[in-house]
Amino acid sequence: MDTRALRYDLAQRYFDSRDYRGAIHELTGIVEQSPEDVGVRMLLARSYFHAALLSPAETQLREVIERDPIESYAHHMLARTLERQSRHDEATKHRRIAAALTGDDELLRPHRATATAGGQG
């Protein structure tokens, strides 16, 4: 197994054990080596999101969407990231795209933590 694969496996273990900062540490180097790898970027974005590092999560998600515009989960995660930053109007666009890509109208609803936070509009 190559070093990159070992680091990714370690990052996945960190993520699974909710050590998101450990995952970020491992994944950052992998993304620098393989910037085109959307899967690694998604795990890095999810790690940032769960560590409440929303700006870097947004950056990674936008990069994923630029590289793979039909990655529905990236649109969904970007919507949630924007909602956590009280950027509900921007989030709506990405919720609509995720719903259109998957056919799942449930994705049109704001995440329950923001549904009562004035996310209408």
78 touches 94 (CB < 8 A): yes
The whole domain housing 81 covers: 69-121
Q: What is the pLDDT of residue 101?
A: 95
113 & 79 share domain? yes
| 97 lies in some domain | yes
47 & 76 share domain? no
| 62 lies in some domain | no
| 57 lies in some domain | no
73 & 28 share domain? no
Q: What is the pLDDT of residue 29?
A: 95
81 & 116 share domain? yes
| 88 lies in some domain | yes
Helix, strand, coil content of the chain in percent (nearest 5): 75, 0, 25
41 & 81 share domain? no
| 10 lies in some domain | yes
| 61 lies in some domain | no
pLDDT in tens, the chain (121 residues): 689 999 999 999 999 999 999 999 999 999 999 999 999 999 999 999 999 999 999 999 999 999 999 999 999 999 999 999 999 999 999 999 999 999 998 888 876 654 444 443 3
Tokens encoding 59: 């950056």
**What's the pTM?**
0.86
| 111 lies in some domain | yes
73 & 110 share domain? yes
